[in-house]
Amino acid sequence: MKQNGTQKVMPAKSRDWLEAECLKLARQIRSGRAIERVTVRRLGSKSGAPNWKIADLIPQPPMQFSADVRAALAHLPGKYALEGERD
């Protein structure tokens, strides 16, 4: 039996908004306080899958802390969609 309407619609946000939100959350973590910028990269997603990911943390935190910061940000691509930026 097929389930209709079970696909979750993610609110679309601009690249600037997503980068600012990621930066805000990264700075809330002790090891991420020195981060000055977060960049996101568009993905070629299909049907409801996340269409962006965190590309860079600038400056990159030490390796032992980078995983903590990225883990804290990992839920965002599944919560928000990157608005269309068509050429």
Q: How do residues 7-38 score in pLDDT, each as one tens digit? A: 677 899 999 999 999 999 999 999 899 999 99
Mean pLDDT of the chain: 87
Check residue 1 and give its pLDDT: 43
Check residue 49 and give its pLDDT: 83
Structural domain that includes position 68: 12-82
Check residue 86 and give its pLDDT: 52
Q: Which among 47, 55, 52 has a CA at the least distance from the CA of 80?
A: 52
Q: Has residue 25 been placed in a domain?
A: yes
Total structural domains within the chain: 1
Q: Has residue 5 been placed in a domain?
A: no
Q: Which among 11, 39, 12 has a CA at the least distance from the CA of 23?
A: 39
Q: Has residue 3 been placed in a domain?
A: no
Radius of gyration of the chain (CA): 15
> Cβ neighbours of residue 22 under 8 Å, at least 6 residues apart?
38, 40, 54, 73, 76
Q: Please give the structure tokens belonging to residue 52.
A: 């962006």
